[in-house]
Amino acid sequence: MALVTAAATMILVEECKCGSMKGGSAGARAGRSRDFETAQRAARRDGANGTADHRVRVAELPNGFRHVIAPPGTGGLPDVSRLHAERSSVTMTPLGMSAREIPVKNGKGKVVTETLLMAGSAIRPMRTAQQPDARSVVALLERFAAPVGCAAKVQILRPFAVISRKSYSAPITLPIGPAYLAATLEKAGYPVEIIDAIGENIYQIVRSQCGHYNLQGLCTDEIVARITPQTRVLGISIMFSQEWLEHRSLIRAIRRAFPDLIIVVGGEHPTALPEYVLRDCPEIDYLVAGEGELTFLELVHGLIHGREIRDVPGVCFIDEAGGFVTTGLSRRIMDIDNLPAPAWHRCNVENYFIDNWTMGIAMGRNMPIIATRGCPYQCTFCSNPTMWTTRYKMRDVSEVVNEIEFLINHYNANSIEFFDLTAIVKKEWILSFCKELKRRHVDIAWQLPSGTRSEALDRETLKAICDAGCRFLVYAPESGCEETLAAIKKKIKLDHLTSSIRAAISVGHTVKVNFILGFPHERFRQMIKTVAYALKLARLGVEDCNISAFSPYPGSELFRDLVADGSVPALNDAYFRSLVTQFDFTSSAAICKHVPAGLLVPLRIIGQMLFYALAYTLHPKRIVRLVKSTFKSRFQANNLFEQRLYDFIVRFRTVRPGNRAIRSSN
Ligand code: B12
Ligand code: SF4
């Protein structure tokens, strides 16, 4: 990695006592404009030609101010709170933006405007498709194979679930990401194990120390006890940003118990905020940004052989000088059909079947699958453009059906859930998938619970997927207001969506719709349109609806914009806690500029209640069906509402005092 030339000669980077970056040079001290402009130019140039210095530089200015320069690709500014505390006259944003005018106080207390240059592609959604990995999976499995007789073990941890204490529900699923990682390492010959903290103790729910969350699964001590002395590398999957605070504490506890263990994290959250995560939790050694299988394999191989890992694409770390080193996002795997199938034999799959823990409608033995990776769209509230970029890869239809057959034969699976970001993009793909299921007489229910787009879902496709076993279909329009849809770049037409939903219901699908209220720009009347649209869909026969409150997830375009305009002032505990809105109706965290939380929260609750009131009273057969289901020896939910109700009862029984009472976490 090349270092910035001109700027580096003038601005020295050194580690200061507090661990934040401190820079100073004769040139920088001599005059603001020359140094600052030079550094700014250098940062821009190096960002453009891809040779960015991945260090954040802080230029000392003669008036006592500091300018923080984080060239594109660095992931923004770390540790600003400390810099801030050090020199309180300077106002700084918590994350990097390209160039921002900020009001600062000069030495005499007068407010002046300064330009603060910061940038970070890691928090800026990628507008292009990530580079493909030119290397083949098979070749890499060979090239990075474990040394003969390798004794160094790799464990992959999926931590406990972090659920708001006031949550009415929160789905629990099998860990498909870790299962993919384990399969790849196993195929390359490494001794590997998955610690699925949720699956290994699914009925244990403990209260977090801060009192805000319930933690489901193995608790910290139990996870630490599961790490073996032979383990050389511990990979930790961190998916949700809202779980970060508790998972950070867990990582700290693991580090205390195992000072020499190499800790690597990956997943959506670290990918969105790589530098922040590494600096916020120095107990982590390496971070993998983006798609994980091949990068993790190469990293593990390098670590076990004691090789230099600075050039492994997709790896980030803090170097000895305190600089943030990154090789960017991992390159996208092109031949995903050659990736080894998820290593379910390393998880306690059966535990998930006991009380039907899953994302969609539980049918007894639901198992997840992924048929596509990435999404070609760029909705502004979604982190996909940062994590997977716009590169969209579909697996070969016959490979997907092979995997389904395997799950039926080995796990007796009776329902397959697609965890794809947006499963149905290409009509030809889904039609040939249906054809293949029929040709092979694969008789299984399958579901699309994570939400899909409607473009490819015309009557012909809807009929085909229904005939081929699709039992639950989730559309994700997000809004019922065209203006909002345009603002969030959702790129759907409501009339087209409505006719697709109408057709879906008429061919026999159980349909759910997802909405979000409270986008930053939204006005009350626009939100009302969304609620009204939801109610219209209830009348049409849609069975389920989720109205969530907008949360600015790291990695999304809206998150970046809200940081830029100061609406997200700092990445602190309060921010991460504010993200827990999904299954907690009491959460009043709202970032909408025109509608206060006091109005948004009741609107969400009323919208949701009215939807279900209509969905049941206008379709009384559903009430009869629900009553019948409750009298069956094993409850069978007919839609997601009933499924979540069931989950709620199971959790309630689990945590009821006198039964398996909630304990405090350690
Ligand atoms: C299934 C799913 C769920 C399931 C649970 C999934 C699980 N396993 O726990 C349920 C239904 C519970 C769920 C709930 C929610 N979800 Co969700 N969900 C997904 C979804 C659709 C699929 C996840 C998945 O399995 N991906 C496929 C696997 C292969 O990818 P992966 O896990 O990311 O792993 C790869 C890499 O990340 C990396 N990797 C992962 N871990 C590690 C570890 C190491 C060491 C390394 C090296 C690499 C690595 O390598 C893996 C293989 O390439 C994703 C979107 C998506 N397709 O990713 C959203 C997504 C993860 N969900 C999201 C959100 C926001 C939520 C909710 C808040 C509700 C909502 N608005 O949708 C809740 C929160 C729940 C909670 N507990 O807090 C966001 C997360 C954003 C964020 N930064 O937090 C996502 C990204 C969707 C989006 N684009 O907005 N979700
Ligand atoms: S919200 Fe859905 S369609 Fe939009 S970018 Fe994210 S995954 Fe793609």
Read off the pLDDT of residues 592-609 as tens digits, 9 standing for 90 and up: 889 998 899 899 999 999
Task: Return the structure tokens found at 327.
Answer: 């090789």
| CB 337, CB 139: distance < 8 Å | no
Residue 12 has pLDDT above 60, yes or no: no
Q: How far is CA 292 from the centre of its chain?
A: 13
Ligand 2 centre and the CA of 452: distance in Å? Answer: 8
Residue 197 has pLDDT above 90, yes or no: yes
**pLDDT for residue 273:** 93
Question: Helix H segments across 50-175?
Answer: 80-86, 137-143
What is the 3 state secondary structure string of 502-553? HHHHHHCCCEEEEEEECCCCCCHHHHHHHHHHHHHHHHHCCCEEEEEECCCC
Residue 55 has pLDDT above 70, yes or no: no
Using most ligand atoms within 8 A of CB, pick from 127, 268, 373, 384 the residue to mutate for ligand 2: 384
| CB 324, CB 52: distance < 8 Å | no
Ligand whose nearest atom lies closest to the CA of 388? 1
Angstrom distance (rounded) from CA 376 to CA 383: 12
Give the phi and the psi of residue 295 in degrees, each rounded to 5: -65, -45
* Eight-class DSSP state of 320: T
Ligand 1 centre and the CA of 421: distance in Å? Answer: 9
Ligand 1 centre and the CA of 556: distance in Å? Answer: 14
Angstrom distance (rounded) from CA 41 to CA 74: 16
Ligand 1 centre and the CA of 385: distance in Å? Answer: 14
Q: At what angle do helices 427-439 and 397-411 cross, to 10 degrees?
A: 40
Ligand 2 centre and the CA of 170: distance in Å? Answer: 21
**pLDDT for residue 563:** 85
Ligand 1 centre and the CA of 240: distance in Å? Answer: 7
| CB 238, CB 158: distance < 8 Å | no
Among residues 225, 265, 260, 229, the alpha carbon closest in space to that of 248 is found at: 265
**pLDDT for residue 52:** 38
Nearest-atom number in ligand 1 for the CA of 555 is 83
Angstrom distance (rounded) from CA 270 to CA 289: 7
Q: How do the residues of the chain divide into helix, strand and coil, expressed in percent and rounded to 5? A: 40, 20, 40
Residue 383 has pLDDT above 90, yes or no: yes
**pLDDT for residue 80:** 35
**pLDDT for residue 394:** 95
Q: Residue 416: beta bridge partners?
A: 367, 446
Q: Whole-prediction pTM value?
A: 0.84
Residue 114 has pLDDT above 50, yes or no: no
| Least confident interval from 407-411, 428-432, 451-455 | 451-455
**pLDDT for residue 84:** 31
Average pLDDT over residues 242-255: 97
To the nearest whole percent, how much of the chain has pLDDT over 70?
A: 79
Angstrom distance (rounded) from CA 590 to CA 579: 9
Q: Half-sphere exposure (CA, 13 Å, Cβ side) for 234?
A: 29
Average pLDDT over residues 80-101: 33
**pLDDT for residue 19:** 30
Place of tokens 């626009």: 526
- Ligand 1 pocket residue status of 369, Cβ below 6 Å: no
Average pLDDT over residues 521-538: 97
**pLDDT for residue 108:** 62
| Least confident interval from 419-428, 537-546, 577-586, 617-626 | 577-586
Residue 529 has pLDDT above 70, yes or no: yes
| CB 250, CB 258: distance < 8 Å | no
Give the residue, by CA position, lying nearest to ligand 2 atom 4: 379
- Ligand 1 pocket residue status of 291, Cβ below 6 Å: yes
Average pLDDT over residues 142-170: 92
Q: Which amino acid is at 631?
A: F
**pLDDT for residue 10:** 23
Using most ligand atoms within 8 A of CB, pick from 240, 251, 551 the residue to mutate for ligand 1: 240
Nearest-atom number in ligand 1 for the CA of 554 is 83
Beta strand pairing call for 315-318 and 286-288: antiparallel
Among residues 197, 204, 195, 199, the alpha carbon closest in space to that of 174 is found at: 199
Ligand 2 centre and the CA of 476: distance in Å? Answer: 9
Residue 477 has pLDDT above 60, yes or no: yes
**pLDDT for residue 588:** 66
Average pLDDT over residues 271-293: 95
**pLDDT for residue 29:** 25
| CB 444, CB 395: distance < 8 Å | no
Angstrom distance (rounded) from CA 446 to CA 537: 23
pLDDT band at 645 (very low <50, low <70, confident <90, very high): confident
Ligand 2, CB cutoff 6 Å, lining residues: 375, 377-379, 382, 384, 421-422, 453
| CB 65, CB 89: distance < 8 Å | yes
Give the phi and the psi of residue 437 in degrees, each rounded to 5: -60, -45
Nearest-atom number in ligand 2 for the CA of 378 is 5
**pLDDT for residue 252:** 98
Sign of the torsion angle spanned by Cα atoms 161, 162, 166, 167: negative
Ligand 1 centre and the CA of 516: distance in Å? Answer: 18
Mean of the per-residue pLDDT values for the chain?
82
Nearest-atom number in ligand 1 for the CA of 175 is 8
Ligand 2 centre and the CA of 390: distance in Å? Answer: 10
* Eight-class DSSP state of 242: G
Angstrom distance (rounded) from CA 10 to CA 6: 7
Nearest-atom number in ligand 1 for the CA of 181 is 52
What is the 3 state secondary structure string of 40-72? HHHHHHHHHHCCCCCCCEEEECCCCCEEEEECC
**pLDDT for residue 382:** 94
Angstrom distance (rounded) from CA 202 to CA 348: 10
Give the residue, by CA position, lying nearest to ligand 1 atom 59: 421
Give the residue, by CA position, lying nearest to ligand 1 atom 52: 292
Give the residue, by CA position, lying nearest to ligand 2 atom 7: 421
- Ligand 1 pocket residue status of 501, Cβ below 6 Å: no
Average pLDDT over residues 21-38: 33
| CB 65, CB 23: distance < 8 Å | no
Q: Is 258 helix (H, G, I), strand (E, B) or coil?
A: coil
| Least confident interval from 351-355, 423-427, 558-562 | 423-427
Q: Residue 15: beta bridge partners?
A: 21
| Least confident interval from 61-75, 282-296, 343-357 | 61-75
**pLDDT for residue 629:** 85
To the nearest whole percent, how much of the chain has pLDDT over 90?
A: 60
Ligand whose nearest atom lies closest to the CA of 516? 1
Q: Is 418 helix (H, G, I), strand (E, B) or coil?
A: strand
Ligand 2 centre and the CA of 377: distance in Å? Answer: 6
Ligand 2 centre and the CA of 489: distance in Å? Answer: 10
- Segment of 21-35, 90-104, 166-180 carrying the highest mean pLDDT: 166-180
**pLDDT for residue 331:** 93
**288-291-294 Cα angle (round to 5):** 80
CA distances from 43 to 27, 58, 74, 387, 662 (A): 17, 12, 11, 24, 52
Residue 109 has pLDDT above 80, yes or no: no
**pLDDT for residue 127:** 72
Angstrom distance (rounded) from CA 314 to CA 295: 6
Ligand whose nearest atom lies closest to the CA of 123? 1
Nearest-atom number in ligand 1 for the CA of 172 is 12
* pLDDT tens digits, one per residue of 204-246: 999 999 888 999 999 999 999 999 999 999 999 999 999 999 9
Ligand 1 centre and the CA of 96: distance in Å? Answer: 25
Average pLDDT over residues 423-427: 85
Using most ligand atoms within 8 A of CB, pick from 380, 421, 513 the residue to mutate for ligand 2: 421
**pLDDT for residue 168:** 72
Ligand whose nearest atom lies closest to the CA of 126? 2
Q: Half-sphere exposure (CA, 13 Å, Cβ side) for 438?
A: 13
| Least confident interval from 187-201, 333-347, 527-541, 549-563 | 549-563
Task: Return the structure tokens found at 218.
Answer: 């193995």
Average pLDDT over residues 103-121: 49
Residue 536 has pLDDT above 80, yes or no: yes
- Ligand 1 pocket residue status of 531, Cβ below 6 Å: no
- Ligand 1 pocket residue status of 235, Cβ below 6 Å: yes
Q: Which amino acid is at 368?
A: P
* Burial environment of residue 138 by CB neighbours within 10 A (0 to 12, 13 to 18, 19 or more): exposed
Torsion of CA 120, 123, 129, 133, to 10 degrees: 80
Residue 17 has pLDDT above 60, yes or no: no
- Ligand 1 pocket residue status of 123, Cβ below 6 Å: no
Average pLDDT over residues 33-58: 44
| CB 56, CB 21: distance < 8 Å | yes
Give the residue, by CA position, lying nearest to ligand 1 atom 73: 582
| Least confident interval from 394-408, 470-484, 572-586, 600-614 | 572-586
- Ligand 1 pocket residue status of 286, Cβ below 6 Å: no
| CB 116, CB 92: distance < 8 Å | yes
Nearest-atom number in ligand 2 for the CA of 421 is 7
Q: Residue 157: beta bridge partners?
A: 195, 236
Ligand 2 centre and the CA of 401: distance in Å? Answer: 25
**pLDDT for residue 654:** 72
pLDDT band at 656 (very low <50, low <70, confident <90, very high): low
Among residues 257, 192, 248, the alpha carbon closest in space to that of 577 is found at: 248
- Ligand 1 pocket residue status of 371, Cβ below 6 Å: no
Using most ligand atoms within 8 A of CB, pick from 239, 284, 349, 651 the residue to mutate for ligand 1: 239
